[in-house]
């Protein structure tokens, strides 16, 4: 396509940069003047018109070059308006009567008029210029990308009218062919004949989407109107496109992007561009596109042939038939597309093509009819018409290279298809090369209808290479087509290919290299090659928590080392200690059959490709790959989390990458929600199993855990998730009204468990025999069905209740019971803590204080156990994951502070007093921890969340308040105490009184102190300004910010299914979302044993009950319950 390469980011210009840029432009200008020439007639040769030379120039304006300056650059003073006798010759010729000199016209044309700002690059060159120099000019100086297709438009030079419908179809098809394939359109450049219609199509396209089509006009310098306005070296010249009706000259078409003006020394004569244009087209068509240094689709594809060239014929005279014949005789031949119905030469060619026989033979009747048509069309004599007829017959001998576009004919809806189909027929390329062409043009319809047809054999390696190219070029339709036509993704995707995909330079802008740099913790070289080990670290970094990517596991590292050697692996993130070296050495010793091709392949290739598409920000490709393969819900949640994390990483970038990533995350989040909703409507039990199924390919996580990691509140608040959480929360308890009150009574008065609490599965006959216990698994499904009907059959006389021991165990094993047990024990502990700091502290701890110490020490051991039992492999990662939870940080601060106070408290005075003070401060943390308990409550939970958000926002206002506070505090201290000595107390005095003044304490006694007269005046004024500004400003800002957070918290946020009754307001639904999310976190982090037991007996830690995560889907004797598998969440 016609597009300019965006230069990489560079620092702002300095004088050195400006001078280097100036030198570079100067060197380019010198190169153009040295390589490209212009031609001027140096002899006045008589012609039929006595006022003109044979070159076409008026004799009065003829420039004669002195013999001594033939090879030098001429100045205005060297020009002489003197006629020199021409040499003795019969005819004027370019070779004998013209002389070259450095070109004096190149730069930029600024077209005037037309209402659109349009500019084009141009250059005046000699008609015999070398095509390789011209191509270098276009690629290097004009910075054009080498095309994937060359469309050469030929036709009549005289103005003619096309049928409105044909003109619309022709223009739209031509532009569409150029846009979709990245083609160059070559025309005559002037605004006459067929070029005018091409220009109208370009103009209509540029008004909608400017700058997507590269149209190059190759015109004779001598026939251009107002060409004197273009003379200048490396200049920008305005150019009027209004033509003079009395002039035989033509104006340039202002819809073209580039002009090459061929000069053979003539004026007012066509033909100077014919040879130059043919040679340039030939040279471009011979270029091997994959040799170009710049990245382009065709370079990535690596097509072995040159740039495809097609000749498009619209209307035209006898010379067009001659051009057609020359194109067909080229080696290799150039395919021709003839537009039927456009008139003259096109209609003659299409008529002959329609009625000629196989091999291009034309019957006598058709020949006679053609001869008559040629005579009438061109007003030729019979002998001249026969010459044209012979050329037409020669063209028909290569009928297979001619494609006729007939508007409205079956199978041809537009000229675009005719052009591309003709190219496939005319390139003589194999099926794989034709597929590469269609892929480069991004025309999946051509590949489906012309290549993947019966009789075309495509080798497996060609299909896999095409798949690789389609993935790199982000061609989703081609990936789908290749999969439909036999590409096996399991066989295709290997470790080297996946790494190549991650290192491609094509595609949309993404933040992968930025994230890799952050993970590697250092600057990366420009040519850094990303490895799958790096991708594994990126995945773990973005997914967060305890996620462990397969690429960083020991088995994959050992495989990678055996395949590529240690030089390929860059493990800068790991310490190079002796332990690590020994571990790495052990990995290297793993025996792997490198020759086995299956070793390099993946079990779930669509998973790997979807992650690649997400990290490379290829949303359409990611959506397509998400639809393939297994575990669609999990993949959608992983993509949602990755996009969210990448949006956070790129939030400080200037462009809209962060917004795009956030939108992509929402799209995948919505897909996951809709998939869960459909699964739930189809089968509730299957939907719940999907939420708790352990995903071995995603770090043994579950969909519910992934949703929590992605903070997908709508997913967590779905009815299915809510039912699952309720089942997990209640365990095997089946509570009616006031469940909390019943559980509290059961904890305080255990016999009430047998009276107030019902259990799931009690509507079945319970047998404790060992044989029936073995058959529990077989009867699980029946248990669940009967469990649903328990309320209806509860009064049945033949129902036996569970044994008392089993009921008590299930009561205390339920997370709901554990929560209340911990809450009650925590409140009891808090009361004891209040008591020991409110009463006099003795030398040695009392029984109450020892109880508090035991509780805190046990809690500390429990936190250590949680860290050690978490999923990450390394201790550092375990600690980092544990610290990601805010309440864990609070617990760490509370326990650490208490232990410090305990060590001091066990000492003698004055350390004992300091320890008691630390005790008093530490209780603040324990009271704050009560908010975590409140978060589960449906009334208090939203307020807790709202307060947390407000506290974060308050930090910004504290900074603003600090500025105002310091401005007044420093001036106040300096005015009232001009003779202070330098002490640290000065810093305290700056803030102390001004801070209390915010709350209304004005310290009136200090206003009229005995100070200097100007101090008495300035200090009250500054205090009044401060008190009038600071409280009003801060209170107003804080109230507005708190109002915003309040509205955010209480506003409806759910876009999915309502969790409340239809009559409740939308705000209630939003609160339910917050509540369910908080309850889910509490369930996942629900401690194993009740805290009261922990605080009394340390040895019970090793015998604590399994947490919610320890439960699986295995059926119980009391009915099936739904619990999440896996170890406790950190």
Going by DSSP bridges, is the β-strand pair 105-112/118-126 parallel, antiparallel, or unpaired?
antiparallel
So what's the pLDDT on residue 459? 85
Q: Which residues contact 628 (CB under 8 A, 6 or more apart)?
A: 483, 489, 606
d(CA 224, CA 63): 18
Using the Cα atoms of residue 351, residue 354, residue 359 and residue 362 in order, give the sign of their dihedral.
negative
| In the predicted structure, residue 1121 carries a pLDDT above the cut 70 | no
Mean pLDDT over 1035-1044 rounds to 60
Q: Is the pLDDT of residue 1059 over 70?
A: no
- Give the model confidence (pLDDT) of 992-1032 as tens digits: 787 777 776 766 666 555 555 444 555 555 555 555 555 65
pLDDT on residue 781: 41
Dihedral over alpha carbons 23, 24, 29, 35 (to 10 degrees)? 120
Please spell the DSSP secondary structure of 168-212, one letter per residue. HHHHHHHHHHHHHHTEEEEE--BSSHHHHHHHHHHHHHHHHSTT-
Q: Is the pLDDT of residue 860 over 50?
A: yes
> Any long-range contacts for 431-435 (C-beta under 8 Å, 24+ apart)?
431/456, 431/457, 431/458, 431/462, 432/458, 432/459, 432/462, 432/465, 432/466, 433/303, 433/304, 433/305, 435/462, 435/466
Comparing 300-304, 417-421, 1081-1085, the range with the smallest average pLDDT is: 300-304
Q: What is the mean pLDDT of residues 449-463?
A: 80
Residue pair 458/432 in contact (Cβ under 8 Å)? The answer is yes
Six-digit token string for 917: 């003070």
pLDDT at site 751: 83
Token code pair at residue 201: 């199509």
At 612, give phi and psi (nearest 5°).
-60, -45
Higher pLDDT, 361 or 16: 361
Q: What is the pLDDT of residue 1004?
A: 60
User: Would you give the end-to-end CA distance of the chain in angstroms?
Assistant: 53
Burial 660-697 (b: 16+ CB within 10 A, else e): bbbebbebbbbbbbebbbebbeeeeeebbebbbbebeb
Please state the three-class secondary structure of 661-728 as a single string. Answer: HHHHHHHHHHHHHHHHHHHHHHCHHHHHHHHHCCEHHHCCECHHHHHHHCCCHHHHCCHHHHHHHHHH
Tokens 């200008």 belong to which residue? 29
Residue 240 has pLDDT above 70, yes or no: yes
For the cut 80, the answer to whether the pLDDT of residue 639 exceeds it is: yes
In this prediction, residue 103 has a pLDDT band, given cuts at 50, 70 and 90, of very high
Greatest Cα-to-Cα distance within the chain, rounded to the nearest angstrom: 135
Could you state, in order of their start, the residue ranges of all structural domains in the chain?
A: 1-29+103-154+182-307, 37-99, 496-716, 825-931, 941-1050
Task: Return the percentage of the chain with pLDDT > 90, whole number.
Answer: 25
What is the per-residue pLDDT across 363-387, written as a single tens digit (0 to 9) for each? 888 999 999 999 999 998 989 999 9
More confident residue, 783 or 708: 708
Give dist(CA 1072, CA 509) in Å, integer. Answer: 39
- Hey, which of 294-308, 607-621, 943-957 has the most confident mean pLDDT? 607-621
- What is the reported pLDDT for 423? 81
When the pLDDT of each residue in the chain is averaged and rounded to a whole number, the result is 77
314 — pLDDT class (breaks 50, 70, 90): very high
How many CA atoms does the CB half-sphere of 141 hold within 13 Å?
A: 23
What does the alpha-carbon distance between residue 465 and residue 494 come to, in Å, rounded to a whole number? 13
pLDDT beyond 80 at 936: no
Strand partners, 695: 701
Model pLDDT, residue 1007? 56
Please tell me the least confidently modeled range out of 285-294, 882-891, 951-960, 1064-1073.
1064-1073
At residue 300 the predicted structure's pLDDT band, cuts being 50, 70 and 90, is very low
Residue 723 has pLDDT above 80, yes or no: yes
Lowest mean pLDDT among 50-59, 256-265, 408-417, 695-704: 408-417
- Mean pLDDT calculated for residue range 1075-1104: 46
Pairing of strands 37-41, 98-102: antiparallel
The H or E element that residue 506 is part of is none
Asked whether the beta carbons of 460 and 483 are under 8 A apart, the reply is no
Decide: 447 and 340 in contact? Cβ < 8 Å. no
Mean pLDDT over 37-59 rounds to: 85
pLDDT at residue 767, rounded to an integer: 42
Predicted pLDDT of residue 648 = 87
What confidence score (pLDDT) does residue 858 get?
92
State the pLDDT confidence band at 807, using cuts at 50, 70 and 90: confident
Contact, 405 vs 418, CB < 8 A? yes
Among the ranges 11-20, 170-179, 1077-1086, which has the highest mean pLDDT value?
170-179
pLDDT average, residue stretch 166-177: 86
Provide the pLDDT for residue 1009. 54
pLDDT, tens only, 669-690 = 999 999 999 999 999 889 999 9
Give strand pairing partners of 152.
186, 311
pLDDT tier for residue 725 given thresholds of 50, 70 and 90: confident
Least reliable range by pLDDT among 351-355, 548-552, 565-569, 1057-1061: 1057-1061
Report pLDDT for 596.
57
DSSP conformation letters of 69-110: GTTS---GGG-B----PPPS-SS--HHHHEEEEE--EEEEEE
Q: pLDDT band for position 776 (50/70/90)?
A: very low
Q: Any idea which of 175-189, 261-275, 555-569, 765-779 has the lowest mean pLDDT?
A: 765-779
How many angstroms separate the CA atoms of 218 and 272, rounded? 10
Our CA dihedral for 1059, 1060, 1063, 1065, rounded to 10 degrees, sits at -80
Going by the DSSP 8-state scheme, the letter that residue 998 receives in this structure is T
Half-sphere exposure of 1108 (CA within 13 A, CB side): 31
Which pLDDT belongs to residue 69? 41
173 exposed, middle or buried (CB, 10 Å; 0-12, 13-18, 19+)? buried
Question: Between the CA of residue 308 and those of 423, 519, 594, 802, 981, what are the distances in Å?
Answer: 7, 45, 42, 83, 88
Cα–chain center distance at 958: 37
Residue 530 three-state SS: coil
Task: Give yes or no for a contact between 673 and 1056, defined as CB atoms under 8 angstroms apart.
Answer: yes
**Pairwise pLDDT comparison (78 vs 128), residue with the higher score:** 128
pTM above 0.75, yes or no: no
**Of the ranges 528-537, 654-663, 831-840, 1046-1055, which one carries the lowest mean pLDDT score?**
1046-1055
- Inform me whether the pLDDT recorded for 2 exceeds 50: no
Q: Taking residues 592-608, what's their average pLDDT? A: 74
The pairing of beta strand 402-405 with beta strand 336-339: parallel
Q: Which two tokens stand for residue 951?
A: 């506290």
**Is the pLDDT reported for residue 794 higher than 80?**
no
Q: What would the two tokens of residue 1084 be?
A: 């996942």
Of 615-629, 636-650, 846-860, 1052-1066, minimum mean pLDDT range? 1052-1066
**CA dist., res. 453 & res. 456, Å (int):** 6
| pLDDT at 548 > cutoff 50 | yes
Please say if the pLDDT value at position 1101 is more than 90.
no
Least confident of 537-551, 581-595, 670-684, 1048-1062: 1048-1062
Measured between alpha carbons, how far is residue 228 from residues 247, 607, 620 in Å? 15, 64, 52
């Amino acid at each position: 396509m016609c597009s300019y390469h965006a230069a990489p980011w560079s620092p702002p210009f300095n004088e050195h940069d400006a001078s280097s840029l100036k030198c570079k432009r100067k060197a380019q200008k010198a190169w153009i003047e040295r390589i490209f020439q212009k031609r001027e007639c140096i002899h006045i040769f008589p012609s039929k018109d006595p006022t003109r030379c044979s070159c076409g120039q008026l004799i009065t304006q003829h420039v004669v070059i002195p013999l001594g300056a033939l090879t030098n650059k001429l100045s205005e003073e060297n020009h002489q308006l003197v006629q020199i006798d021409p040499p003795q010759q019969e005819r004027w010729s370019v070779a004998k009567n013209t002389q070259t000199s450095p070109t004096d016209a190149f730069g930029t044309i600024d077209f005037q008029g037309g209402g659109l700002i349009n500019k084009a690059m141009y250059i005046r060159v000699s008609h015999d210029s070398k095509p390789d120099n011209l191509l270098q000019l276009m690629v290097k100086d004009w910075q054009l990308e080498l095309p994937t297709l060359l469309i050469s438009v030929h036709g009549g030079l005289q103005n003619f009218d096309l049928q409105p419908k044909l003109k619309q179809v022709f223009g739209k098809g031509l532009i569409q062919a150029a846009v979709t394939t990245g083609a160059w359109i070559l025309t005559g450049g002037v605004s006459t004949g067929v070029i005018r219609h091409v220009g109208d199509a370009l103009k209509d396209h540029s008004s909608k989407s400017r700058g997507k089509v590269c149209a190059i006009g190759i015109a004779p310098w001598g026939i251009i109107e107002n060409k004197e306005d273009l003379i200048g070296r490396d200049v920008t010249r305005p150019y009027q496109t209004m033509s003079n009706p009395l002039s035989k000259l033509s104006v340039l078409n202002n819809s073209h992007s580039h002009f090459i003006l061929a000069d053979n020394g003539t004026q007012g004569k066509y033909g100077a561009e014919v040879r130059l244009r043919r040679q340039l087209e030939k040279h471009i068509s011979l270029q091997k596109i994959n040799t170009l240094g710049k990245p382009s689709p065709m370079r990535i594809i690596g097509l072995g042939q040159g740039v495809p060239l097609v000749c498009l014929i619209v209307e035209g005279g006898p010379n067009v038939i001659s051009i057609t014949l020359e194109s067909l005789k080229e080696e290799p031949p150039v395919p021709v597309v003839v537009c039927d119905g456009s008139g003259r030469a096109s209609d003659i060619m299409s008529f002959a093509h329609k009625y000629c026989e196989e091999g291009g033979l034309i019957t006598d009747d058709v020949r006679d009819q053609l001869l008559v048509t040629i005579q009438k069309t061109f007003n030729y004599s019979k002998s001249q018409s026969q010459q044209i007829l012979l050329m037409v017959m020669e063209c028909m001998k290569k009928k297979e290279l001619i494609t006729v576009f007939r508007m409205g004919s079956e199978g041809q809806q537009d000229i675009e298809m005719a052009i591309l189909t003709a190219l496939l027929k005319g390139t003589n390329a194999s099926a794989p090369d034709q597929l590469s062409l269609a892929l480069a043009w991004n025309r999946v319809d051509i590949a489906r209808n012309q290549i993947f047809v019966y009789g075309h054999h495509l080798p497996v390696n060609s299909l896999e290479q095409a798949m690789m190219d389609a993935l790199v070029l982000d061609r989703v339709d081609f990936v789908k087509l290749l999969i439909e036509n036999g590409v096996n993704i399991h066989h295709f995707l290997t470790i080297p290919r996946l790494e190549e995909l991650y290192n491609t330079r094509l595609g949309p802008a993404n933040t992968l290299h930025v994230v890799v740099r952050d993970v590697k913790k250092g600057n990366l070289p420009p040519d850094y090659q990303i490895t799958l080990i790096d991708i594994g670290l990126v995945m773990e970094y973005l997914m967060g928590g305890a996620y462990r990517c397969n690429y960083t596991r020991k088995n994959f590292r050992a495989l990678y080392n055996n395949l590529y050697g240690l030089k390929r692996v860059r493990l800068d993130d790991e310490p190079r200690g002796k332990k690590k070296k020994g571990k790495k050495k052990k990995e290297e010793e793993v025996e792997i059959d490198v020759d086995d091709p299956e070793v390099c392949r993946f079990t779930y290739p669509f998973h790997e490709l979807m992650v690649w598409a997400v990290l490379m920000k290829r949303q359409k490709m990611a959506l397509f790959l998400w639809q393939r393969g297994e575990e669609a819900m999990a993949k959608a949640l992983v993509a949602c989390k990755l996009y969210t994390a990448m949006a956070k990483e790129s939030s400080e970038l200037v462009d809209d990458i962060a917004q795009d990533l956030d939108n992509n995350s929402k799209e995948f989040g919505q897909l996951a929600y809709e998939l869960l909703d459909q699964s739930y409507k189809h089968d509730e039990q299957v939907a719940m199993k999907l939420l708790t199924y352990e995903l071995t390919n995603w770090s043994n996580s579950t969909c519910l855990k992934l949703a929590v990691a992605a903070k997908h509140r709508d997913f967590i608040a779905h009815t299915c998730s809510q039912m699952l959480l309720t089942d997990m929360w209640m365990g095997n308890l089946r509570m009616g009204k006031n469940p909390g009150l019943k559980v509290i009574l059961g904890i305080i008065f255990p016999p009430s468990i047998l009276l107030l609490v019902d259990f799931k599965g009690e509507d079945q006959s319970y047998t404790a025999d060992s044989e029936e216990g073995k058959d529990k698994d077989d009867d699980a499904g029946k248990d669940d069905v009967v469990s649903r009907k328990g309320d209806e059959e509860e009064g049945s006389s033949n129902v036996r209740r569970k044994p008392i021991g089993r009921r008590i165990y299930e009561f205390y094993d339920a997370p709901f019971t554990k929560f209340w047990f911990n809450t009650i024990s925590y409140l009891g502990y808090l009361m004891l803590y209040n008591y020991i700091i409110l009463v006099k502290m003795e030398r040695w701890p009392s029984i109450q204080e020892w109880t508090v110490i035991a509780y805190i020490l046990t809690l500390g051991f429990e936190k250590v156990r949680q860290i050690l039992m978490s999923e990450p492999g390394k201790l550092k990662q375990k600690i980092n994951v544990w610290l990601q939870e805010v309440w864990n940080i609070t617990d760490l601060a509370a326990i650490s502070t208490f232990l410090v106070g305990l060590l001091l408290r066990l000492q003698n005075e004055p350390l004992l007093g300091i320890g008691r003070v630390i005790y008093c401060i530490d209780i603040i943390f324990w009271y704050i921890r009560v908010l975590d308990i409140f978060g589960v409550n449906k009334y208090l939970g939203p307020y807790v969340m709202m307060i947390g958000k407000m506290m974060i926002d308050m930090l910004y206002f504290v900074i603003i308040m600090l500025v105002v506070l310091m401005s007044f505090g420093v001036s106040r201290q300096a005015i009232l105490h001009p003779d202070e000595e330098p002490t640290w107390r000065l810093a305290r005095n700056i803030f102390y009184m001004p801070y209390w003044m915010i709350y209304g304490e004005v310290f009136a006694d200090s206003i009229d102190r005995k100070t200097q007269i100007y101090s008495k005046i300035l200090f009250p004024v500054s205090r009044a300004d401060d008190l009038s500004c600071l409280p009003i400003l801060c209170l107003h800002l804080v109230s507005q910010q708190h109002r915003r957070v309040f509205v955010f918290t209480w506003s409806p946020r759910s876009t999915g299914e309502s969790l409340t009754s239809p009559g409740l307001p939308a705000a209630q639904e939003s609160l339910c979302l917050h509540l369910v999310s908080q309850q889910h976190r509490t369930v996942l982090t629900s401690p194993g044993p009740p805290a009261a037991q922990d605080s009394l007996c340390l040895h019970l830690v090793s015998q604590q009950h399994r947490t919610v995560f320890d439960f699986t889907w295995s059926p119980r004797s009391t009915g099936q319950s739904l619990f999440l598998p896996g170890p406790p969440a950190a």
